[in-house]
Protein backbone atom coordinates (compact mmCIF):
# COMPACT_ATOMS: atom_id res chain seq x y z
CA UNK A 1 0.00 0.00 0.00
CA UNK A 2 1.31 3.42 -0.96
CA UNK A 3 0.13 6.79 0.24
CA UNK A 4 -0.41 9.04 -2.79
CA UNK A 5 -0.28 12.86 -2.95
CA UNK A 6 -3.69 14.57 -2.98
CA UNK A 7 -4.35 17.25 -5.63
CA UNK A 8 -5.27 20.67 -4.28
CA UNK A 9 -7.91 22.90 -5.92
CA UNK A 10 -7.63 24.63 -8.36
CA UNK A 11 -6.40 21.83 -10.61
CA UNK A 12 -7.89 21.03 -14.06
CA UNK A 13 -7.97 17.30 -13.20
CA UNK A 14 -10.50 18.00 -10.42
CA UNK A 15 -12.87 19.50 -13.04
CA UNK A 16 -12.88 16.52 -15.44
CA UNK A 17 -15.44 13.72 -15.78
CA UNK A 18 -13.79 10.34 -15.08
CA UNK A 19 -13.81 7.23 -17.28
CA UNK A 20 -15.58 4.01 -16.19
CA UNK A 21 -13.37 1.16 -14.93
CA UNK A 22 -13.42 -1.58 -17.60
CA UNK A 23 -12.47 -4.61 -15.44
CA UNK A 24 -11.38 -5.53 -11.92
CA UNK A 25 -7.65 -6.05 -12.51
CA UNK A 26 -4.70 -6.25 -10.11
CA UNK A 27 -4.03 -2.58 -10.90
CA UNK A 28 -7.57 -1.69 -9.75
CA UNK A 29 -7.10 -3.71 -6.53
CA UNK A 30 -3.76 -1.95 -5.89
CA UNK A 31 -5.36 1.44 -6.57
CA UNK A 32 -8.14 0.66 -4.05
CA UNK A 33 -5.53 -0.20 -1.38
CA UNK A 34 -3.59 2.99 -2.09
CA UNK A 35 -6.76 5.09 -1.95
CA UNK A 36 -7.80 3.64 1.42
CA UNK A 37 -4.28 4.18 2.80
CA UNK A 38 -4.29 7.79 1.53
CA UNK A 39 -7.79 8.44 2.95
CA UNK A 40 -7.06 7.03 6.43
CA UNK A 41 -3.70 8.83 6.58
CA UNK A 42 -5.16 12.26 5.60
CA UNK A 43 -7.38 11.66 7.66
CA UNK A 44 -10.64 11.67 5.74
CA UNK A 45 -13.92 9.79 5.47
CA UNK A 46 -13.84 9.53 1.67
CA UNK A 47 -11.57 9.86 -1.36
CA UNK A 48 -12.25 9.79 -5.10
CA UNK A 49 -9.66 8.60 -7.67
CA UNK A 50 -9.26 12.01 -9.42
CA UNK A 51 -8.10 13.49 -6.10
CA UNK A 52 -4.94 11.39 -6.53
CA UNK A 53 -4.78 12.20 -10.29
CA UNK A 54 -6.30 8.90 -11.45
CA UNK A 55 -9.11 9.70 -13.88
CA UNK A 56 -11.14 6.53 -13.19
CA UNK A 57 -14.68 6.18 -11.82
CA UNK A 58 -13.80 4.83 -8.41
CA UNK A 59 -14.13 5.99 -4.80
CA UNK A 60 -13.44 4.78 -1.28
CA UNK A 61 -15.14 5.77 1.97
CA UNK A 62 -15.45 4.88 5.63
CA UNK A 63 -17.76 7.09 7.67
CA UNK A 64 -17.31 5.15 10.93
CA UNK A 65 -15.89 7.91 13.12
CA UNK A 66 -16.36 6.60 16.67
CA UNK A 67 -13.22 5.23 18.27
CA UNK A 68 -13.67 1.57 19.19
CA UNK A 69 -16.28 1.02 16.46
CA UNK A 70 -15.39 -1.44 13.71
CA UNK A 71 -14.17 0.38 10.58
CA UNK A 72 -16.13 -0.16 7.36
CA UNK A 73 -13.80 0.49 4.41
CA UNK A 74 -15.84 0.58 1.20
CA UNK A 75 -14.61 0.55 -2.42
CA UNK A 76 -17.17 1.66 -5.02
CA UNK A 77 -16.34 1.14 -8.70
CA UNK A 78 -18.47 2.83 -11.40
CA UNK A 79 -21.00 4.05 -8.77
CA UNK A 80 -24.24 5.75 -9.73
CA UNK A 81 -27.16 7.17 -7.73
CA UNK A 82 -30.27 5.21 -8.74
CA UNK A 83 -32.71 6.84 -6.30
CA UNK A 84 -32.73 9.86 -4.02
CA UNK A 85 -35.16 10.96 -1.29
CA UNK A 86 -37.21 14.16 -1.54
CA UNK A 87 -36.07 15.08 1.97
CA UNK A 88 -32.92 17.24 2.15
CA UNK A 89 -30.19 17.45 4.75
CA UNK A 90 -27.53 20.09 5.34
CA UNK A 91 -23.96 19.20 6.35
CA UNK A 92 -20.90 21.35 6.96
CA UNK A 93 -18.71 19.72 4.29
CA UNK A 94 -14.95 19.67 3.94
CA UNK A 95 -12.72 18.31 1.19
CA UNK A 96 -9.19 16.92 1.24
CA UNK A 97 -8.54 18.85 -2.00
CA UNK A 98 -9.66 22.10 -0.32
CA UNK A 99 -7.93 21.86 3.07
CA UNK A 100 -9.32 23.68 6.13
CA UNK A 101 -12.35 25.14 4.31
CA UNK A 102 -15.87 24.13 5.31
CA UNK A 103 -19.32 25.18 4.11
CA UNK A 104 -22.91 24.04 4.46
CA UNK A 105 -24.19 22.05 1.46
CA UNK A 106 -27.77 20.81 1.03
CA UNK A 107 -28.23 17.37 -0.55
CA UNK A 108 -30.82 14.55 -0.60
CA UNK A 109 -30.95 13.04 2.90
CA UNK A 110 -31.00 9.47 1.57
CA UNK A 111 -29.72 7.94 -1.67
CA UNK A 112 -29.59 4.48 -3.20
CA UNK A 113 -26.34 3.73 -5.03
CA UNK A 114 -25.37 0.91 -7.38
CA UNK A 115 -21.73 0.00 -7.99
CA UNK A 116 -19.33 -2.75 -8.94
CA UNK A 117 -17.37 -4.23 -6.04
CA UNK A 118 -13.82 -5.59 -6.02
CA UNK A 119 -15.53 -9.01 -5.96
CA UNK A 120 -16.78 -8.28 -9.51
CA UNK A 121 -20.41 -8.27 -8.32
CA UNK A 122 -23.01 -5.50 -8.61
CA UNK A 123 -23.93 -4.01 -5.22
CA UNK A 124 -26.89 -1.82 -4.31
CA UNK A 125 -27.35 -0.03 -0.99
CA UNK A 126 -29.32 2.83 0.59
CA UNK A 127 -27.20 5.38 2.49
CA UNK A 128 -28.37 7.98 4.99
CA UNK A 129 -26.79 10.44 7.44
CA UNK A 130 -23.09 11.15 6.92
CA UNK A 131 -22.78 8.13 4.57
CA UNK A 132 -25.33 9.72 2.19
CA UNK A 133 -23.53 13.09 2.26
CA UNK A 134 -20.15 11.47 1.74
CA UNK A 135 -21.12 9.17 -1.15
CA UNK A 136 -22.75 12.11 -2.99
CA UNK A 137 -19.67 14.31 -2.37
CA UNK A 138 -17.41 11.54 -3.77
CA UNK A 139 -19.61 10.80 -6.81
CA UNK A 140 -19.54 14.55 -7.52
CA UNK A 141 -15.71 14.31 -7.65
CA UNK A 142 -16.08 11.60 -10.33
CA UNK A 143 -18.18 14.07 -12.35
CA UNK A 144 -15.68 16.93 -11.94
CA UNK A 145 -17.75 18.73 -9.31
CA UNK A 146 -16.56 20.12 -5.96
CA UNK A 147 -18.64 21.07 -2.91
CA UNK A 148 -17.73 24.74 -3.49
CA UNK A 149 -19.66 24.57 -6.80
CA UNK A 150 -22.85 24.61 -4.65
CA UNK A 151 -21.85 27.90 -2.98
CA UNK A 152 -22.54 31.49 -4.03
CA UNK A 153 -19.89 32.75 -6.55
CA UNK A 154 -18.34 35.22 -4.09
CA UNK A 155 -17.76 32.58 -1.40
CA UNK A 156 -16.44 30.15 -4.03
CA UNK A 157 -13.99 32.79 -5.34
CA UNK A 158 -12.81 33.57 -1.81
CA UNK A 159 -12.03 29.90 -1.13
CA UNK A 160 -10.34 29.48 -4.53
CA UNK A 161 -8.08 32.49 -3.86
CA UNK A 162 -7.12 31.05 -0.45
CA UNK A 163 -6.21 27.77 -2.16
CA UNK A 164 -4.13 29.56 -4.84
CA UNK A 165 -2.20 31.29 -2.05
CA UNK A 166 -1.74 27.97 -0.20
CA UNK A 167 -0.39 26.33 -3.37
CA UNK A 168 2.08 29.21 -3.93
CA UNK A 169 3.31 28.81 -0.34
CA UNK A 170 3.60 25.02 -0.70
CA UNK A 171 5.62 25.46 -3.95
CA UNK A 172 8.07 27.77 -2.12
CA UNK A 173 8.77 25.22 0.66
O1 LIG B 1 -13.62 13.78 -0.74
C2 LIG B 1 -12.95 14.29 0.13
O3 LIG B 1 -12.30 15.30 -0.11
C4 LIG B 1 -12.95 13.71 1.51
C5 LIG B 1 -13.86 14.44 2.47
C6 LIG B 1 -15.22 13.74 2.44
C7 LIG B 1 -16.38 14.49 3.02
C8 LIG B 1 -16.31 15.19 4.21
C9 LIG B 1 -17.43 15.84 4.71
C10 LIG B 1 -18.59 15.78 4.05
C11 LIG B 1 -18.66 15.11 2.85
C12 LIG B 1 -17.56 14.46 2.36
C13 LIG B 1 -13.26 14.38 3.86
O14 LIG B 1 -13.05 13.35 4.38
S15 LIG B 1 -12.84 15.89 4.62
C16 LIG B 1 -12.24 15.38 6.21
C17 LIG B 1 -13.31 14.98 7.17
O18 LIG B 1 -14.47 15.26 6.93
C19 LIG B 1 -12.98 14.22 8.39
C20 LIG B 1 -11.69 13.95 8.73
C21 LIG B 1 -11.42 13.23 9.89
C22 LIG B 1 -12.43 12.82 10.69
C23 LIG B 1 -13.73 13.08 10.36
C24 LIG B 1 -14.01 13.80 9.22
ZN1 LIG C 1 -13.73 16.22 -1.65
- What does each C-alpha distance from 102 to 64, 89, 109, 132 come to in angstroms? 20, 16, 19, 18
Question: Of the bound ligands, which one is closest to the alpha carbon of residue 102?
Answer: 1
Which ligand 1 atom is at minimum distance from the Cα of 91? 10
Is-catalytic flag, 138? yes
Question: Of the bound ligands, which one is closest to the alpha carbon of residue 136?
Answer: 1
Does the C-beta of 43 come closer than 6 Å to ligand 1? yes
Burial of 162 (0-12, 13-18, 19+ CB in 10 A): middle
Q: What is the pLDDT along the chain (173 residues), one digit of tens a residue?
A: 899 999 999 999 999 999 999 999 999 999 999 999 999 999 999 999 999 999 999 999 999 988 899 999 999 999 999 999 999 999 999 999 999 999 999 999 999 999 999 999 999 999 999 999 999 999 999 999 999 999 999 999 999 999 999 999 999 98
Does the C-beta of 94 come closer than 6 Å to ligand 1? yes
Amino acid sequence: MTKRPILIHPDPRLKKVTAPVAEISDDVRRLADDMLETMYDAPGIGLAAPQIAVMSRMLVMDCVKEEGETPRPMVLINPSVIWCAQERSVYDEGCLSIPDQYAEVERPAEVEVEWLGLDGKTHREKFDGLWATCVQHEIDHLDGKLFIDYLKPLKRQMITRKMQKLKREMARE
